[in-house]
Structure 1
Amino acid sequence: MTAPDPSTVRLEGPWRHRDVRANGIRFHVVESGPNDSDAPLVVLLHGFADFWWTWRHQLTALADSGHHVVAVDLRGYGDTDKPPRGYDGWTLAGDVAGLIRALGHTDAALVGHADGGLVCWATAVLHPSVVRSIALIASPHPIALKRAVVRTRAQRSAFLPSFLACQLPWAPERRLTRDGGAEVDRLIRSRMGSLRQVDAGELADVLSRSRSAIQIAGAAHCSLEYQRWAFRSQWRPDGKRFMTAMDKPVTVPVLQIHGDADPFVLRSTLRSDGRWAPDLRLCGVPGAGHYPHWERPDAVTSALLTFLGEPAP
């Protein structure tokens, strides 16, 4: 079976597709709202086995409020380049800092889900001058997550089996892509909250598009490289230097959004973020699981609009 062409993620809608070069590679980004440096920039970063389209609701709603909104296919995903290296925390933070500048802005508010949220944390610490604020969805501070996995049985049981399964060579890639991406379907369903709160047509669309995107040549391997670096670097100098660098408070406002029914990242783990985020606000989304930004898009959009505030006229 032929893999989908990367251009299949360039879905039509009330937005603009662009290719932007930053940090040595080409990124596919999707824009909405005023395309100028006077409008405040909001950058949306997706999570594992996903792509920019996960933010379709927030992309247009935040733009309607006057923000310049950009949803990104992260390094290795969708129609962005898929280099063999660069899936470490240092490089990923450099990707976002470079993108902000390449888009003609001096700073941005970052919004990230899961792995995309970890990139938000890293960018805020390693490139603080380009980050105005960060909003996170199901994405604890990396040190908080590591400690919870080590010390808390519930978080360890929820997180560790799938994380360790990613560490094997080649088998995880085959698992993600075989049977038309059926494993992505299973992962999404297992991490959702109440199915009764999600429109059946919306869920079918999410599953179909996510299964297709993970089959793009190289996407499954690159998505797993994020997980592999996070694990293997713990015993290498670069990983230890990264965690040492991350062990200091961020100086910008932080919003942590969590689905109250998330079975993968537990609320108790997210509460620990306060140690590294003095200006932390927690926002629960009743009934939502690991993907509240499309399970309960109105609630998440409302929380983001309150957090970001109205752009200055």
Structure 2
Amino acid sequence: MTAPDPSTVRFAGPWQHRDIHANGIRFHVVEAAADGADLRADAPLVVLLHGFADFWWSWRHQLTTLAAAGCRAVAVDLRGYGDSDKPPRGYDGWTLAGDVVGLIRALGYGQATLVGHADGGLVCWATAALHPRMVDSIALVSSPHPIALRRAVRRNKAQRRALLPHLLSYQVPLVPERGLTKNNGDEVERLLRLRTGASWHGTAEFDDVATQMRSAIRIPGAAHSALEYQRWAFRSQFRSDGRRFMQAMDTELSIPVVQIRGEQDRYILPRTVEADAHWAPRRRLHTVLGAGHYAHQEAPDEVSDQILKALRACE
């Protein structure tokens, strides 16, 4: 079967699709404006960063809600995903933070609120630590601080069982790419079902999300790029660049931080997230009852409200 064309992720809706060049590559971004009005260059900028094996559409609910609240909401296909460029390298924490800084500047801003899910949340942490003047506040969905996550995998048997088997299986070449894309992306739907709350399964919304994610991971280069994030996160621990990155991350953030976790998230456990207060003293933790790892899609209104609270905290 023919692989999907990247342009298939440019869904019509109350938003605009744009191509923006930043940090040496082209990004596909989606912007929403309230009530069909022109995008406001003076509105507070909110940049939304998706997680593993996903793409911008993960934030479709937040795009419209944030725009209606007067924000300039921009959802990004991260490097290697969707209709953004898929370069052979650049999936390290340093470069990914540089991608976000470049996007903020290309959009005409000096600062932004960053919102991230899973891997996208790790990019939020990195950008806030490495480029603190560029970040007003961050909101995180199922995304602990990278040092907290590393320590939890080492010290917490339950967190190690939840995370490490997947991470280790992704380190070999070629085989994981085939695993993600075979049978029209069936593995992506399996992971989605495994990591989400049971009440969401069987709904039309779940089926729609699974269909779109299965298609997006089959875009040429997307599966390999998604896995490169995971490979760098693991392998960098044993290299000098990874040690330097963790040293740079070991800093206290003075900005408001809202951390959102689904009650039924079996992938990122409560003790792991609770440790983040060490690096984010202004952190506010919110638990979404009945939701799993994808709380922003399972309970979009509740998560959108928490993001807006993060914005109000930095006014």
Alignment TM-score, normalising by the size of structure 2: 0.97
Which residue matches 1:27?
27
1:309 to partner: Cα distance: 2.4
The equivalences for 1:279-298 within 5 A come to 279-298=282-301
Find out whether 1:39 has 2:43 as its counterpart.
yes
Are the counterparts in 2 of residues 257 and 300 from structure 1 also a CA contact under 8 Å? yes
| Residue 214 of structure 2, aligned match among 208, 211, 218 | 211
Separation in structure 1 between the aligned mates of residue 46 and residue 53 of structure 2, nearest angstrom: 22
1:256 is paired with a residue of what secondary structure? Answer: strand
Find out whether 1:173 has 2:177 as its counterpart.
yes
Separation in structure 1 between the aligned mates of residue 314 and residue 98 of structure 2, nearest angstrom: 26
Find out whether 1:89 has 2:93 as its counterpart.
yes
Letter in 2 for 1:114: A
| Residue 231 of structure 2, aligned match among 196, 203, 228 | 228
1:202 to partner: Cα distance: 0.6
1:199 to partner: Cα distance: 6.8
Separation in structure 2 between the aligned mates of residue 113 and residue 270 of structure 1, nearest angstrom: 13
For each residue in 1:44-81, what CA deviation from the matched residue of structure 2 results, as whole angstroms up to 9, or x when unmatched?
A: 00000000000000000010000000000000000000
1:307 to partner: Cα distance: 2.3
Which residue matches 2:5?
5
Which residue matches 2:117?
113
Are the counterparts in 2 of residues 66 and 311 from structure 1 also a CA contact under 8 Å? no
Are the counterparts in 2 of residues 39 and 311 from structure 1 also a CA contact under 8 Å? no
Show structure 1 runs of 5+ residues with no match: none
Separation in structure 1 between the aligned mates of residue 194 and residue 212 of structure 2, nearest angstrom: 17
1:35 to partner: Cα distance: 2.2
**Residues 117-126 or 297-306, more deviating:** 297-306
The equivalences for 1:134-283 within 5 A come to 134-194=138-198, 196-197=199-200, 200-283=203-286
Identity %, equivalent residues: 64
Separation in structure 1 between the aligned mates of residue 175 and residue 238 of structure 2, nearest angstrom: 23
For each residue in 1:105-152, what CA deviation from the matched residue of structure 2 results, as whole angstroms up to 9, or x when unmatched?
A: 111000000000000000001111110000000000000000000000
Alignment TM-score, normalising by the size of structure 1: 0.97
Instruction: Kindly report the root-mean-square deviation, in angstroms, between the aligned alpha carbons of the 2 structures.
Output: 1.3
2:260 is paired with a residue of what secondary structure? Answer: strand
Which residue matches 1:104?
108
